[in-house]
Amino acid sequence: MKSFKTLLEAMRVKAWTKNFFVFAALLFGRLWSLKALQETILATLGFGLVASAIYLINDSVDRRKDMLHPEKCKRPIASGRLSVRVAVTTALILVSIALTISWIFAPWLALVYTVYFAKQLGYSFGLKNVAILDCILIALGFVLRALAGVAVLYDSGEVISLSPWLVICTFFLACLLAFAKRRHELISMGSEASKHRKNLKEYTAPLLDQVIGISASASILGYSIYTVSDRTAELVSPYLWVTIPFVAYGVFRYLFIVYSLEMGGSPDKVLVKDKPLQLNILLWVAAVAVILSTNASG
């Protein structure tokens, strides 16, 4: 039982909260059927398996550096509580299950999984050391999560697509999270930062502050344009702009967490711990659901 808990810890199941982006197509596509919900849940779980496989591989590759990190040294593989052999074997099993099942029953979803897995392998084996590109690749991972929601519904026979503006919003919101994490690493580790992550020596706090500001602005602007676009008014709802304040507060709250509370190092932990942010997300989802359901019934 203890070894199983250690394996789950290494798989970072708590980080599966990131996979909620898969539900974007279900929510904004106004697909309220039980079948669509089931398909989306399965796609989300599948994405979790692929993501966990990548975590296991990445931590195995970085174990020597993680041993020198004040926080990462506590991870199962870096601390020696989980062997590299077990980690890599488990990773191969997880990704094989996800890809095999999806290629049989949902080929478009399988394609998204495959692209994500290949992208993350490239990240783990070198691209994470390229400044700026590392955060761009992380952001594309969130976009692929949103596309996975579209793909699984398309495989099940639903004709659905995400607005380009919604994809743009997702991309820049993910950029905000990624660059804020780099800033936290740079500030918290100081002169030791480059020893734990090579490309941190190429980042500076002023540069990251500018990129974070640009990403935050672009994410709010992208969502705002999405809600008031003619395409959204025709296919989704003309009243979705009412939810803009929730998105603005969410972004501003995260900036407050990054700069005032200095807690931008782990976005998934922030989501779990910060009550105002949790409440805001719930209210946003509720508002979107009410607006879309009301428009559908009308």
Q: pLDDT digit string (tens) for 5-64?
A: 888 888 988 888 888 889 888 878 766 778 888 999 999 999 999 999 999 999 998 888
pLDDT digit string, tens, across residues 221-231: 999 999 998 77
The two tokens of residue 216 are 């935050």
Domain locations in the chain as residue ranges: 1-161, 163-298
The two tokens of residue 50 are 């692929």
CATH level 2 (architecture), domain 1-161 = Orthogonal Bundle (1.10)
Asked if residue 194 has pLDDT above 60, the reply is: no
Asked if residue 289 has pLDDT above 80, the reply is: yes
pLDDT digit string, tens, across residues 108-145: 999 999 999 999 999 988 888 899 999 999 999 999 99
Contacts of residue 184, Cβ cutoff 8 Å, sequence gap at least 6: 258, 262, 263, 264, 265
Using DSSP, state whether 68 is helix, strand or coil: coil
Share above pLDDT 90 across residues of the chain, in percent, rounded to a whole number: 48
The two tokens of residue 152 are 């699984």
When pLDDT is averaged across residues 67-78 and rounded to a whole number, the result is: 80
pLDDT at res. 62: 84
pLDDT at res. 265: 65
CB 94 within 8 A of CB 50: yes
pLDDT at res. 192: 62
CB 291 within 8 A of CB 239: yes
Q: Say which residue the tokens 């931008």 belong to.
A: 264
pLDDT at res. 133: 94
Neighbours of 141 (CB within 10 A): 19
Question: Angle between the 84-105 and 107-124 helix axes, to the nearest 10 degrees?
Answer: 150
The two tokens of residue 197 are 């992550």
- State the amino acid at position 148 in one-letter form: A
pTM of the complete model:
0.87
Confidence band for 283, pLDDT divided at 50, 70 and 90 = very high
The two tokens of residue 9 are 């810890």
DSSP-H helix ranges across the chain: 2-11, 24-28, 34-61, 63-66, 76-79, 84-105, 107-124, 133-155, 164-189, 193-196, 205-228, 230-235, 244-259, 267-273, 275-297
